[in-house]
Structure 1
Amino acid sequence: MTDAPAITDMTNEHTANPANTPAEPGSYAILGWLVGATFVVILNETIMMNAIPRLMVEFDVTARAAQWLSTSFMLTMAVIIPVTGWFLQRVTTRQAYVLAMATFCVGTALAAVAPVFWVLLAGRIIQAAGTAIMMPLLMTTLMTVVPEFDRGRIMGRVVMAISVAPALGPAVSGVILEFTSWRWMFGIVLPLAAAIGFVGMRRLINVGEPTAGSVDILSVVVSALGFGTLVYGLSLIGDPHAVLPPAWFIVGGAVVIALFVWRQLRLQKGGEPLLDLRTLTHRTFTVGTLLMVVAFMGFMGSMILLPIYLQDLRGLTSLQTGLLMMPGGLAMGLSGPRIGHLFDRFGSRPLVVPGSLAVVAALATLSQITATTSVWVILAAHVAFMAGLAGIFTPVFTLSLNAVPEHLYSHASSVLGSTQQVAGAIGTAISVTVLASHTATLASGGASPTAAAIGGMQWAFAASAILSIGIVVLALMLPARAPEGAASHH
C-alpha cells in the first residue's frame, strides 16, 4: 500500500495538449485512490499461488483443480472486463468505484469463511468481478486526465503499483501462511479493501459525464461462454479423467469467440458493441495487445510453477518461497517510475527489446532446473524475468493506449485488460497441463516420482520459453512512439 502516495504527490504541471483534454485541478490526485484500490484487488490475483500446495492437502484436490483458484479469477476478469468498456461510459467514476470495491469485499468475506473448496472458488470469482471493474476504470481515467506527453511518467508509477501487486502476492501469502491459516490471506485484505473503499468514495471526483445506452446481452453471454469453454478445454489436455476430449472444448470455444467477434462487428455498424473492435484497426495497438498477451501467459505460468517446484520438490516452506520470489517483485515495482521516464525520453524500443530478451533468457534458464539447482540461480533468473517484464509492461501499455482515439479509451483499456486476463488463464492452464501430463508420462516410463516431477517442470518452463520468443518478434514490430495525432483522431 505504499504505492498510492507516489501518485497523489504528482502535481498537474502540464495542463494543455492538443491531443488531450486539459487536466482539471486535483484530477491527478484521483489516480492515487484508484491506484491504491487497484493495488489491493490485484494483489489477490496471485496471492493464492503460494497456498496451492497446502490447499491441495486441506481440500483433497489435485493440482489441476487447485489451479482454478487462480485461473477462475483471471477468467472471470476476462469475461467481465469487456462489459466495462460499455459500463464505464454509462456511470460516474464514483459509482463504478463503489460497485467494484463492494463486490470485491463480498467475495473476500466469502472466501475467508469458505468451508469447502467450491465455496472458496465462488468467493474468488466474486472477488474477480470487482477487480475487473477497477482495472479499466483506472486506465480510462488516466488516459482522460493525463496529457499525452506526460503519460509515460504517470503510467510508470501506475504500472509499478498494478504490476508489483501480483508479483508480491506469493511473498505476502508466504508470510501469512508461515504464521497462521490461509484464511487470513482474505481476513487481512478485507479490512484494507473496506477502508480504502470507504475513504476513496469520499475523496473521489467524477471524471467525464456518463452517457445513455443499452448493453447487448447476447454479446455478454457469448463472451463468457467462448472464453470459459476455451480455457477449460486447455486445462483438460492430458487429463486421463476428462469426460470429453479437450479438443471439443477448445474448438467449440474458438467458434463461439469467432461468433462474439462477428457480433461486435455487426453492432459497430449501427448499434452499440460491447467491445468496440475498431481499436484493433490501429496497428500499434494491435501489436501491443498481442505482445501483452504472450508476456502475460509467461508471467502467470511461471508464477504458478515456481511455488510448486520450490515447495513440493525442494522442500522450502511457504515463507521461504515467498521471500525467494520477493526480490523479483521489488525489481519490477521499483523500476517502474524510471522506465516511465525513459519511455517519455527515448520511446519504447530501447526498453521493450532488451526486456523481451531478458524474459526469454530467464525462462530458458528455468527450463534447465534440477532437484539440486542452486537457489541463487533460481533467484537470479526470477529477478531477470521480472525486470524484463517491467521493461515491457509500462512502455507497451502507454504506447498501445496512446495509439487509439480518445473516444475509444474505455474500449481500448477493456480490450487490453480482457485479452491479458484470458492470456493469464491460458498460460496458467497450459503450464499446469504440461507439468501434469509430462510428469505422468515419465512416471509411467519408470522414472522416480521426483525425477518425473522435475522433468515435467522442465518441460513446462521450456514451453513458456519457446512461446516467449514471440515477445521478441512483436517487440521489433513496435514503433518507438504512437503515430502522431492518434489520440485526437476520430
Structure 2
Amino acid sequence: MQSNNIEESNIETEIKHTDIKKLPIMISLLIGVFFAILNETLLNVAYLDLMATFGVTASTVQWLTTSFMLIVGVLVPISALLVRWFTTRQMFLGAMIMFTIGTIICAFAPTFSLLLIGRLIQAAGTGLLIPILMNTILFLYPPEKRGAAMGMVGLVIMFAPAIGPTISGLIIEALDWRWLFIFVLPFSLFSIGFAFVYLKNLTIVTKPRVDVLSIILSTLGFGGLVFGFSSIGEGEAGWSHPEVYLSIIISIIALFLFITRQLKLKEPILEFRVFKSPMFSLTTVLLIIMMMTMFSTMIILPMYLQGPLAFSALAAGLALLPGGVLNGIMSPIAGKIFDRFGPRFLVIPGTFILVVVMALFTQVSTDTSAYVFILLHSFLMIAIAMVMMPGQTNGLNQLPPTYYPHGTAVINTLMQVSGAIGIALFIGIMSSGQASYLEGVNDPSEPINISNAMTAGVQASFQVGLIFAIISFILALFMKRTVLPKSI
C-alpha cells in the first residue's frame, strides 16, 4: 500500500510539471497514432485487388483485417504493464518503428503470407500506440482541461478509420494497392523523427513483477474473443462452426480465470477495481455500444451502397466522407464543450440523435436517395463524436492517477473487442434477414429479389441497432460530471 502511495505521489508530481512543452509531444503522438489507426480500415475497398494479385479467396484475404484486430486486442490489455516497465519515449518510438517496419514489408510484399506478416507487425505497433496516447493526455493535462485534449484523440481514433475507405478508394482508383502503404510511410517516418527530438518521458518506471500466467490468460481471453467473433462471417457455417463457438467458449473461461487472478494479485496486470467507479462503468457500456454501432455501420453501409444501389467502391467511399469529416470537426468541439458544461450537455442529446438516426435507418430501401444515406451517416457520426470522447474523459476523470494505465487499457481493449463483436453481430443479423426473405420467394436468384433481400437484412440489423441506441439514451440520463478522487 505504501509503495502505491509513493507511486501516486510521484505521478502527481509529474503532472504538476509546468516546463513540459505539450504541443510538440501532442503533435508527434497524434500523427503517429492517426496513420496507425487509419490502417485498420484502409484495406476495406482493396480486397478485390488483393485477391486478384495473390490468387486468394475472400475468406483468406479477410485475415488482413481479422489478424489486425486480433493482435491489437491482445496487446492493449498488456499495455498497462508495459507502460510501467518502459518510458513514454521508449514505448512510442519502439511502437512507431515496429509499425513502420510492418508498413515497409506490406508495401513490397511479393506474397500474401509476407503481406500478412507485415500486417501483424503493423498491428503490434498500433496496439501499443493507442494506450500511450491516452495515458500521455491523462498525465499531461489536469481534469478540467482534458476535454479539449481528448477531443483531439477522438479526431484520431474515430476520424482515421472513418475516412480510411475514402482514401483507399481514391488511391486504388488512381494507383496500385501498394500505394496504400507507401502513402503512410512518410508520415510515420516524420512522426518518429519528430518524437525523437521532442518527446519527453511523462511517467514513472516502476517495473512491477511480471505474472506470465496472467499474460497467457489475457491473450487467450481477449484474443480468442476477437478471433471467434471475427471468424463468424468467414465461412458458411457461421455460429455453428467449431472454430467460432470453441474460440468464444475458451476465451470466456480464460477471461473468468484472468479476472479472478487479477483481483487476487498485489500487482495485477490489469486492475479491474476501476469498475468500482460508477461513471467509469457507465461510460464503458456506452463506449461498447458506440463502437459496435460505428464499426458495423462502416461495413453495412458500403455493402448496401455497392450492392442494391450499384455504387462503385470509390463512390461508396466518397458517400461516407462527409460523415467522417464532420466527426473529425465535431470531436475537438465536443471536447471544449465538455470542459465548460460537463458530459450531460453532450451525451444526452448525442444518444437521442443516435436513436432518431437508427429509427430512420430501419426504413431505408432501394428507393431511398443517396443523399438521405449521406445525411443519416453524417448525423450518426456527429452523435458518436458527442458521446465517445466526452463520456470517456468523464469516466477516466473519476480514477486516481495510479489507475490511469489500467483504465485506458480496459476501455481500449473493450472498444476493440466490441468493434469485432458488433461487426459479427450486425453482419450475422443482416445475413439472417436476407436468408429469411429469400426463403419466401419463388426465384431467389432474380436480381430484384436479391436486392429486396439485402434491404430486409439491412433493416433487421438496424432494428437491433435501434434497441442498443435506446439503451444508450437511458444510460446517458444517469451520467453526471465526475471529480478526481484521492483513492479508490
Q: TM-score over 0.5 for the alignment?
A: yes
Match runs of 1:97-108 below 5 Å: 97-108=92-103
AA in 2 matched with 1:104: F
Q: What is the aligned counterpart of 2:194 among 199, 211, 219? A: 199
For the 8 Å contact 1:63–1:432, the answer to whether it is kept is: no
Kindly provide the CA deviation profile for residues 428-470 of structure 1, in whole angstroms up to 9, marking residues without a partner as x. 2223333334334434544333333332233233333322322
Q: Distance in 1 between matches of 2:260 and 2:338?
A: 36
AA in 2 matched with 1:90: W
The unaligned stretches of length 5 or more in structure 1 are: 1-16
- The aligned residue for residue 377 of structure 2 is 382
Q: Distance in 2 between matches of 1:53 and 1:460?
A: 25
Match runs of 1:331-350 below 5 Å: 331-350=326-345
- The aligned residue for residue 305 of structure 2 is 310
Instruction: Tell me if 1:137 matches 2:132.
Output: yes
Instruction: Tell me if 1:41 matches 2:39.
Output: no
AA in 1 matched with 2:173: E
AA in 2 matched with 1:123: G
Cα separation, partners in 2 of 1:23 and 1:279, compared to 1, 3 Å: farther
Aligned residues: 468
Deviation at 1:415, TM superposition (A): 0.9
- The aligned residue for residue 21 of structure 1 is 16
Q: Distance in 2 between matches of 1:143 and 1:70?
A: 30
Instruction: Tell me if 1:393 matches 2:388.
Output: yes
- The aligned residue for residue 261 of structure 1 is 259
Q: Distance in 1 between matches of 2:118 and 2:355?
A: 35
For the 8 Å contact 1:439–1:452, the answer to whether it is kept is: yes
- The aligned residue for residue 8 of structure 2 is none
Cα separation, partners in 2 of 1:445 and 1:227, compared to 1, 3 Å: farther
Query: When the two structures are superposed, what TM-score results if normalisation uses the length of structure 1?
Result: 0.88
Deviation at 1:375, TM superposition (A): 0.4
AA in 2 matched with 1:251: I
Q: Distance in 2 between matches of 1:171 and 1:35?
A: 20
Instruction: Tell me if 1:113 matches 2:108.
Output: yes
Kindly provide the CA deviation profile for residues 77-119 of structure 1, in whole angstroms up to 9, marking residues without a partner as x. 1210111111011111111011111111122223223455554
- The aligned residue for residue 347 of structure 2 is 352
Q: Distance in 1 between matches of 2:121 and 2:76?
A: 13
> Aligned-residue CA RMSD in angstroms?
2.5
Cα separation, partners in 2 of 1:253 and 1:25, compared to 1, 3 Å: closer
Cα separation, partners in 2 of 1:467 and 1:485, compared to 1, 3 Å: closer
Cα separation, partners in 2 of 1:380 and 1:53, compared to 1, 3 Å: farther
- The aligned residue for residue 244 of structure 1 is 242
Deviation at 1:41, TM superposition (A): 0.8
- The aligned residue for residue 7 of structure 2 is none
- The aligned residue for residue 184 of structure 1 is 179
For the 8 Å contact 1:20–1:144, the answer to whether it is kept is: yes
Q: Distance in 1 between matches of 2:362 and 2:57?
A: 23
Query: When the two structures are superposed, what TM-score results if normalisation uses the length of structure 2?
Result: 0.89
AA in 2 matched with 1:337: P
Deviation at 1:44, TM superposition (A): 1.2
Q: Distance in 2 between matches of 1:398 and 1:105?
A: 30
Q: Distance in 2 between matches of 1:327 and 1:137?
A: 29
Cα separation, partners in 2 of 1:254 and 1:333, compared to 1, 3 Å: same
Deviation at 1:288, TM superposition (A): 0.7
AA in 2 matched with 1:374: S
Deviation at 1:230, TM superposition (A): 2.8
Deviation at 1:19, TM superposition (A): 12
Q: Choose 65-74 or 218-227, whichever is displaced more.
A: 65-74
- The aligned residue for residue 225 of structure 1 is 220
Q: Distance in 2 between matches of 1:365 and 1:53?
A: 31
- The aligned residue for residue 290 of structure 2 is 295
Deviation at 1:64, TM superposition (A): 5.6
Q: SS of the residue aligned with 1:313?
A: coil
- The aligned residue for residue 430 of structure 1 is 425
Instruction: Tell me if 1:464 matches 2:465.
Output: yes
Q: Distance in 2 between matches of 1:203 and 1:372?
A: 54
AA in 1 matched with 2:468: L
Q: Distance in 2 between matches of 1:116 and 1:456?
A: 36
